[in-house]
Amino acid sequence: ASALGSSDHHRATSVSSRLGIQQKSLNLPLLPTTTLGSFPQTLDLRRTRREYKAN
């Protein structure tokens, strides 16, 4: 952190120009979403879900 200078706190391009470049290169939808995938499920959780669905 001590090696950072005042120029390290400013970008060379504006937000709008960076946004355009990112949109072109990444081709993301307007509101991209991400997912973590499946979470591990314990046997107790599976049993509870099964019982809930049965009732």
Q: What is the pLDDT of residues 1-55, one digit of tens each?
A: 889 988 888 888 999 999 999 999 999 888 878 777 778 889 999 999 999 999 8
User: What is the largest distance, in Å, between two alpha-carbon atoms of the chain?
Assistant: 64
In a domain, 45, yes or no: no
How many separate domains does the chain show? 1
Task: Collapse the DSSP code of 35 into the 3-class scheme (helix H, G, I; strand E, B; otherwise coil) and give the result.
Answer: coil
Task: Write down the pLDDT at residue 31.
Answer: 82
Task: Decide if 11 is inside a domain.
Answer: yes
Tell me whether residue 53 is in a domain.
no
Residue whose structure tokens are 């949109």 = 23
pTM greater than 0.75: no
Q: Which residue range is the domain that position 18 belongs to? A: 1-31
Q: What's the confidence (pLDDT) of residue 50? A: 95
DSSP state of 2: T
Q: How far apart are CA 34 and CA 12, in angstroms?
A: 29
The answer to whether 11 and 18 are in contact (CB under 8 A) is: yes
